[in-house]
Structure 1
């Protein structure tokens, strides 16, 4: 009986790491070690008592925070401007990303998808350029202010969401769409009535997550003149008005915390 049980339920051998995976891990480890060696990190100076005293003096300059009503009103408008930039930039990116995700996807097994590769190149190009670089480039044509920041968020996020949307579309269960295609219904109608309803909660979750990231990016884009809290931060920090700087930083932290909480609860609702 014991021999039969051993024969029926053989012990599985532990998984063996493939050569390509081992080479990749070894290469990453080598790069990490090389990074520490080439950067010449001065940990002794960073952790010295003089460094701690300098940081303590710098932090003390932030207090007391500036709470004058006129300045708080200015910070409030900057906060609303930052929020508007993130919302509009994300909304534009969601629409453009979905429009590019369709040609960037293989909708079914027999789909030739001739535009898949070039469209993915476009998405790669859009997301490979950081928001700050987009903003610096767009300031030349759009001028100073939140318009350049909004477009910068939209361009970069289009590349990110377009790729995520395309992967979701390709991974959708094919059976409902195939059932409609057998009836002679075109690809766009099949996508609208079957694929889109299946992937819509996931697309919304991705969009909300990117909104979380964009609220942080929008708060920083003003440093290059793209409006919002970042522009206030750059101005007052450049004048060494540390009390006003502390108030702006507190507004940034509060705004990011509120948006993160809202986005988290909305994503939880969509994925239930």
Structure 2
């Protein structure tokens, strides 16, 4: 019975994908139509030679640094807001949260707060960064600040959910031991849940920073600062030789941040397990 059900689900998914492709007009042959091929050729031809004048390169360097600054500040703000929200978003579990022990009013209030925070985090991450950027551009004007607020809002929703589920996954036996020894909920989090999740916490945070850096390059399309602002200006003016330089600069920045993120994650894992390996030897 289970095999037949799985087969029907697989067939249903394949049919849904096929129908969605037809309904959205997916046609790879369109890419090979002569007029489209010529348009792509004109665009590629316009990318060369790249713009390499010193004033333009210096401007790119400043915009790249502004993009990095946007990603750093937005990620830091997201951590500040997501961490306390994630603590409240930990699912109540264990004997301490038994309705007979807490009483119906306190038990109901705790679950109400839990679902409210979960819904808030869902709302924050459910609105795309570009939509947040448009909202904050209207609120505070053009520049890097709305980009920071947009990325911080979206990342708070994502990190809050990830942190909350990460803290929930900690071995409940360790949590109960801390409670038996007299720890309150804050001490339980501070001395058990957070230390046990530290390496994963840093890994999630570094990955989100990398995502924010990539997103920061796009938010400039709506006037939220960073190198994306210059990219959309060059595109609108059909200055494709500048576009190629900007794309190449963004590519180098993304590669550099990817390598830095890998290096930091490796360092975190080594510091987390190095002591145990040395003791094993």
- Counterpart for residue 222 of structure 2: 224
Change (3 A) 1:103 1:17: farther
- Counterpart for residue 80 of structure 1: 65
How much has 1:38 moved relative to structure 2? Answer: 0.5
- Counterpart for residue 7 of structure 1: none
Q: Which SS does the other structure have where 2:49 is aligned?
A: coil
How much has 1:155 moved relative to structure 2? Answer: 0.4
The 5 A counterparts of 1:27-106 are: 27-106=12-91
Greater shift in the superposed pair: 242-251 or 39-48: 39-48
How much has 1:26 moved relative to structure 2? Answer: 4.0
Given the alignment, which residue of 249, 254, 257 partners 1:256? 254
Change (3 A) 1:50 1:154: same
- State how far apart, in whole Å, the 1-side matches of 2:94 and 2:128 are: 35
How much has 1:95 moved relative to structure 2? Answer: 2.0
Change (3 A) 1:186 1:238: same
How much has 1:212 moved relative to structure 2? Answer: 1.3
Hey, which bits of structure 1, 4+ residues long, moved more than 6 A?
A: none
Change (3 A) 1:118 1:23: farther
- State how far apart, in whole Å, the 2-side matches of 1:22 and 1:94 are: 43
- Cα offsets for 1:91-145 (capped at 9, x unmatched): 1112211111011102542335422111110011000100000000110111100
How big is the alpha-carbon RMSD for the aligned residues of Structure 1 and Structure 2?
1.8
Given the alignment, which residue of 113, 136, 143 partners 1:145? 143
- State how far apart, in whole Å, the 2-side matches of 1:17 and 1:201 are: 39
- State how far apart, in whole Å, the 1-side matches of 2:211 and 2:45 are: 30
Unmatched 5+ stretches in structure 2 = 98-106, 271-281
Instruction: Tell me the TM-score normalised to structure 1 length.
Output: 0.89
Q: Which SS does the other structure have where 1:63 is aligned?
A: coil
Greater shift in the superposed pair: 24-33 or 134-143: 24-33
Change (3 A) 1:225 1:22: same
Given the alignment, which residue of 120, 123, 137 partners 2:121? 123
- Counterpart for residue 156 of structure 2: 158
- State how far apart, in whole Å, the 2-side matches of 1:26 and 1:267 are: 40
- State how far apart, in whole Å, the 2-side matches of 1:17 and 1:267 are: 41
Count residues with an aligned counterpart: 257
- Cα offsets for 1:185-220 (capped at 9, x unmatched): 211011101110001111110111111111110000
User: Is the 8 Å Cα contact of residues 107 and 170 (structure 1) preserved in structure 2?
Assistant: no
How much has 1:75 moved relative to structure 2? Answer: 0.6
- State how far apart, in whole Å, the 1-side matches of 2:90 and 2:146 are: 30
User: Is the 8 Å Cα contact of residues 169 and 195 (structure 1) preserved in structure 2?
Assistant: yes
Instruction: Tell me the TM-score normalised to structure 2 length.
Output: 0.86
- State how far apart, in whole Å, the 2-side matches of 1:207 and 1:158 are: 11
Unmatched 5+ stretches in structure 1 = 1-14
- Counterpart for residue 210 of structure 2: 212
